[in-house]
A and B are shown apart, each in its own frame.
Chain A
């Protein structure tokens, strides 16, 4: 079995591996976090702790899922707010965790209601033994508009509350961003100006996943009604990656320390977040669906990837893909890549034919006797829709052809 050093330093704290529970029910209490540490998670962001006087009163049921064909959990919608357990109990759990697992990273997620409570909570979790603080500026379904994503969308409040937290404790601190905005660079800069040491992104995306067609109510139904609330899981990964790239690309944020969150399920997802600039990674939905045991394939798979890349330290991979994302107007538009259809692998279903005709450029012809498709190189624009719909991976990138009148050679293209 492969062994590689997955450790990484983030905001001055040493993680034995970059994988953490993100703040949510997966890290709700001592027993859960202890089990996660035992199974190999490098860190825990404990479920967001609020002020003692802010009462949490949750609905039932509180989840819904987006499916596609027979795939469950394409995306996951939740209506939870912050920790349901009393403040004192949460602080006691933090103390116990730090004592029992001194070498694992313990991060306290907090959410205040005003400058004073942010500052007080920061002091309390620091005293309880947390190694780091994460500010939850991003829960989209709080019952108070002075909390959650309404705060995260307001740069002045972000800055003010970051300053308050920094007054409350000297611990390294990251601010957790809401994706329910157009430009994440603005709140991220405001938080950094307020003293944040790094950024965690993303929290959940405001959503309605499904509507009950007979009752005409969104899901889940709570006494005949529903609410817009946060969406997470695989479906939000592309959004998370985009926000992370945009922050790392912004002037002044080039080396922004990031904890990446949103739809991480496999080591490949994890590697993508790292290549786009994340140093640590956080997971909730995949754990809710499959359990802490997914850490085995996350760590082992990432080790194999490091070996393939010839890398001994994870930090060498952080941000390597940032420079390869460029504005659309700067992309090379001088050539097309024809699809290559391997007739030995082809099973003759004709899905490429249908998609090419109905969704692309009518470039595939069909031999009715042999049930085999052929690509017309003139009509084909090289969009590769056919490759994506093929159920048996029989279509791959084939010949590179220069568009008429363009300079340069097909051979020089990195396809």
Chain B
């Protein structure tokens, strides 16, 4: 098994090719792309800076609006956000905004720029549960406003699904590490291997801090009752975490069955193929017309040679043999595999955190809970479950705390 393909990110722009892409931008007066970025990363402004060869200014625009700018550049479903709004689509195809953002943030890194600055200390401290994108952005925003920030993370590394979910070929660990280092350098304290509610109580966090943010995400895999206790089964997020933490350490058989049709399932499929698994069969509940995964992810997966069967539900399991029935047609399918990966969604685990959720999110909009000191953000708050929206919610939750605690903005 070779891991090179799994670790290889697509090529980025060079100075010449990024200028060509920026030159395609129409520099619209009312820039719909900027209005469509959930985190207000302001693509219109940074692309204009690239057009006028002000790469450092472009980096400032990205970084000041989005503490995870290099990550979003790589993983944002831009086709749902900024690029969906791009006026250039009326001519041919949208500007590759993610690609330009990646070039600029790489430039920022090569130029050793330190854009975010810690605000003068205001004497207030905030605890954050979870170091996924929402927790990290909340930390960055609070630190620039002068707060002390303590992050508690149940895993041994920070990053949430950035570190334990999104595969290496789409998001290199080095990039995630650099982004986390920036936030540590701003002054965040992270305590690893601590599960709040188990190793330390919520009451203790509240006693020591002026506010607590719960950014625990949907960090646990869902499962299907049919597969309970089955030794051939692994959850998608556990599989992706295992590969990302130690790609040379996983031992994969020749036939793998994947069940699920979201972007996570597509990541599993592609990862298996890049790791040279011979037969990857993905059976999906939805039919192609109602597919959950984006067209881009689906196309990429099919290109890798994965067999995707749509419209089937598992009805019986016998060890490594699964029988499916078509949802509309009178059709049955039996597949025997060496390994079964379930990609049927993730759920929240907020045991002992004193928070009420319904369908893994708050029952109301915003970030407040019944406890005036406790706030919720990221995937646990209402809204899209994507990195960029987690960033936006992290920023907004931090700003809300700042408003509630009576802070003044320092600029």
Contact = CB atoms under 8 A, between A and B. Distances in A.
Contacts of A390: 16
B53 A266 contact: yes
A345 B48 contact: no
B54 interface: yes
Of listed B16, B48, B52, B53, residue having the most chain A CB within 10 A: B52
A253 to B, nearest CB: 31
Contacts of B17: 391-392
Nearest to B61: A1
A293 interface: yes
A2 B14 contact: no
A267 B14 contact: no
Nearest to B56: A304
A2 B116 CA distance: 11
Contacts of A89: none
Nearest to B24: A70
A268 B53 contact: yes
A298 interface: yes
Contact of A301 (B16, B27, B54, B64): B54
B57 interface: yes
B34 to A, nearest CB: 13
Of listed B49, B54, B60, residue having the most chain A CB within 10 A: B54
B297 to A, nearest CB: 26
B15 interface: yes
A300 B27 contact: no
A71 B53 contact: no
B57 A293 contact: no
A393 interface: yes
Given A391-B16, A392-B14, A392-B16, A2 B52 contact: no
Nearest to A300: B57
A300 B16 contact: no
Contacts of B45: 296
A293 B14 CA distance: 26
A390 B17 CA distance: 11
A290 B48 CA distance: 10
A265 interface: yes
A131 to B, nearest CB: 28
Contacts of A391: 16-17
A345 to B, nearest CB: 7
A297 B49 CA distance: 6
B19 to A, nearest CB: 10
Contact of A298 (B14, B15, B52, B60): B52
B23 interface: yes
A293 B15 contact: no
Contacts of B49: 296-297, 300-301
B27 A290 contact: yes
Contacts of A297: 48-49, 52-54, 57
B121 to A, nearest CB: 21
Interface in B1-55: 14-17, 23, 27, 45, 48-49, 52-54
A293 B60 contact: no
Nearest to B29: A291
B53 A304 contact: no
B60 to A, nearest CB: 5
A32 interface: no
A294 interface: yes
Contacts of A294: 52
A301 B56 CA distance: 7
B54 A393 contact: no
B28 to A, nearest CB: 11
B23 A2 contact: no
Given A1-B60, A2-B60, A293-B48, A300 B14 contact: no
A22 to B, nearest CB: 18
Contacts of A393: 14-16
Of listed B15, B48, B57, residue having the most chain A CB within 10 A: B57
Of listed A2, A265, A293, A297, residue having the most chain B CB within 10 A: A297
Interface string A188-221: 0000000000000000000000000000000000
B52 A266 contact: yes
B157 to A, nearest CB: 30
A67 B39 CA distance: 37
B48 A266 contact: no
A297 B53 CA distance: 8
A392 B20 CA distance: 11
Nearest to A293: B48
B48 A301 contact: no
Contacts of A267: 52-54
Nearest to B63: A1
For the complex of A and B, 10 pairs with smallest distance between CB atoms:
A301-B54, A297-B52, A297-B54, A300-B57, A304-B56, A393-B14, A266-B53, A266-B52, A392-B14, A297-B49
Given A266-B52, A301-B52, 16 more contacts: A1-B60, A2-B56, A266-B53, A266-B54, A294-B52, A301-B49, A301-B53, A301-B54, A301-B56, A304-B56, A390-B16, A391-B17, A392-B14, A393-B15, A393-B16, A394-B14
17 contacts: A1-B60, A1-B64, A2-B60, A70-B23, A267-B52, A267-B54, A290-B27, A296-B49, A297-B52, A298-B52, A300-B49, A300-B60, A301-B56, A301-B57, A304-B57, A393-B14, A393-B16
